[in-house]
Amino acid sequence: MQETKLSSEEYLPKLFQKEFSSVSINNSSNKGFSGTAIYSMLKVNKEDFCNNIDSEYDGRIIEQHYNDLVIFNVYFPNGKLNKARLEVKIKFYKNFLNYCEKLREKSKSIIICGDFNTAHKDIDLKNTKINNKLGFTDNERVYFNKFIERGYIDTYRYIHGKKENSYTWWSYRSNGRVKNEGWRIDYILISEDLQNNLKDAFILNYIHGSDHCPVGIEIDY
């Protein structure tokens, strides 16, 4: 889960108590802002909130190690507020990718789940005429694409190819969900060594309750 916006840990552990054996919560130091959470049935060997990357302590990252597999839950910054926030977003992308690459040098396999706050390709948003707006600027797309260039796989595109009208976020203001006029800004990337382990990738666009919908993968590891 990303953008939980909770300042207290008392709420999330009560959710799904019967379904999951553990919950990890990284709340923002700014009340009512950002925040991430992970529910799991697996035993975690190591966990970190990566404050070397999330230097503003916004609760943006949960890093969990399961032996040689590292899973990241990430809420990337939104650069839409102003130019300064866009620069923060680009720096976050750069530092996070460098951190992942250091883990790969240690023979770790990587899964990155989260809200990237960027649509990667034209096919990932309904109306490509809005590509001058933040979230789809050339600079943001370039930095997103660096993950692909380094061998990380966009799991949804790997399974579904150029399937159109596949979105994970819709604007409330424009009633975009009803018209399916959205953006695909939620992704699960995997390091290329996991390619043959990937069995499925999906978008659960029928699940409501947010302007986003859940995304997921099935992986044999």
Instruction: Give the residue numbers annotated as catalytic, written as ranges.
Output: 115
State the CB neighbour count (10 A cutoff) for residue 7: 15
Is 143:86 a contact under the CB 8 Å cutoff?
no
Q: Is 85 exposed, middle or buried (0-12, 13-18, 19+ CB in 10 A)?
A: middle
DSSP per-residue letters across the chain: -B----S-SSSGGGTTTTT-SEEEEE--SSTTS--EEEEESSPPSEEE--TTT-TT----EEEEEETTEEEEEEEPPP--S-HHHHHHHHHHHHHHHHHHHHHHHTT-EEEEEEE-SS--SGGGBS-GGGTTSTTS-HHHHHHHHHHHHTTEEEHHHHHHTT-SS--SEE-TTTTHHHHT-EE--EEEEEEGGGGGGEEEEEE-TT--SSSB--EEEEE--
